[in-house]
Amino acid sequence: MSREVVIAVYLFIFRILFNLFRLLPMKRKTTFIASIGHNVSYTAKELKHQATDSIVILKTNRFQLNFNPNHEYTMIHFKACHPFDWLRSVYHLATSHVVFVDNYYGILAVTNFRSNVKVVQLWYAAGAIKKFGLQDRSNQYRSRKARNRFRKVYQRFTHVVVGSERMASIFIQSFGIKENKLLRTGVPRTDFFFQPDKMKVAMETIQHSIPFDRSKKVILYAPTYRKTPKTDIQLDLQQFHVHMKHDYVLFLSIHPSERMKVKNKYPNFVFDVSRFSLNHILTVTDILITDYSSIPFEFSLLKRPMVFYAYDLQQYKSERGIWDMYEDQVPGPVVMNTMDAVQKIKEGSFNLNRVYYFSKEWNTYSTGVSSKELIKAIYSTKIKN
């Protein structure tokens, strides 16, 4: 059975159940569909502080955070392999007056919400280097049915949260939406970088959880997700160990959707930190190495150096697409191999002014109160003191 047939059957069943549950009374309830989860976490906490809604969090396969079920949130597995929870999830979506999502979810193509329901796209990235949505070049290999489904999903959003005018323009093109759907309240999870006490606690937790030499600086390598599974990362760990081991340790944060297997021959130098919150890892990171990921947009708030290891730049441009000229838009040196990255770090000649202006351009509305401003903008109920 083809992928499209499986999707069509799944959505057909989902549509029937959703329409049945929609006959039930709407509740004063907010439901989140969560994948990466960080924006959901900050938004849900602020919602609990400001408003009176009951809160339901639907955890998808990609969910990364360790939310503990408690009296404040109802946590449900939004997975077909948990049929009872899946059924409950459909019910909550059909009876909520506000729905938050933080990624693309195909089920939105068949969720005919009532006219007064707000569907808010939090998105998982504060900015974008690679193209996505309707602008993703890989769409040319998709069926017309799939592309139409994408458009239906994007048109379901009543609000799209943005942190800057640059990202606003990208969302308009990527989702095919109108200007009036944009909500310029900033990205909720960036609030963390304006909270010194929380950052300090996170830093100390990481330092106690990972047995690295704290006298050395931390380099974080966090490559973006590539759809083609790989068996190894492209950074040469042996070369890095030989040239950097005296002054640095190397953290690896591997995308949760990527099936990489890294055999660590240097346990006192290389540390896999993929299981930790990326925001928390960034607090102890002195230098970031990445490629087309959205991590630089948050990391730039810390005004620290970055190196862009774009070994497959031309191929990536062709297959996925890049916004603007890559070399001009990233706030650090672009390298094509491991030794070039080593050399740039050893030279230490980073232009932090570029990082500052990069942050200013992409985090315009992310000023430490994004979660609070978002809840105020969405909810018309009386706010609690």
Spatial distance between the Cα atoms of 215 and 246, rounded to a whole number of angstroms: 10
Q: Could you report the per-residue pLDDT of 163-202, keeping only the tens digit for each?
A: 999 999 999 999 999 999 999 999 999 999 999 999 999 9
Segment 122-138 mean pLDDT: 93
Spatial distance between the Cα atoms of 296 and 127, rounded to a whole number of angstroms: 9
Segment 148-165 mean pLDDT: 97
What are the structural domain ranges in the chain? Answer: 3-187+367-378, 192-362
| Closest by CA position to 279, among listed 36, 23, 18 | 36
Segment 115-129 mean pLDDT: 95
Which 3 state secondary structure label does DSSP give 1?
coil
Spatial distance between the Cα atoms of 377 and 76, rounded to a whole number of angstroms: 27
Whether 3-187+367-378 shares its CATH topology with 192-362 is answered yes
The gap from C-alpha 374 to its chain's centroid, in whole angstroms, comes to: 17
Spatial distance between the Cα atoms of 323 and 330, rounded to a whole number of angstroms: 11
What region does 165 belong to: left with phi over 0, alpha with psi -120 to 50, or beta? Answer: alpha
Q: Does domain 3-187+367-378 have CATH number 2.60.40.1120?
A: no
Spatial distance between the Cα atoms of 190 and 194, rounded to a whole number of angstroms: 7
Segment 2-25 mean pLDDT: 94
Q: Could you report the per-residue pLDDT of 308-332, keeping only the tens digit for each?
A: 999 999 999 888 899 988 999 999 9
Examine the pLDDT at 231 and tell me if it is beyond 70: no
pTM: 0.92
Spatial distance between the Cα atoms of 336 and 233, rounded to a whole number of angstroms: 14
Spatial distance between the Cα atoms of 97 and 74, rounded to a whole number of angstroms: 16
What region does 368 belong to: left with phi over 0, alpha with psi -120 to 50, or beta? Answer: left
* Fold that domain 192-362 belongs to in CATH: Rossmann fold (3.40.50)
Contact predicate 223/234, CB 8 Å: yes
Examine the pLDDT at 59 and tell me if it is beyond 90: yes
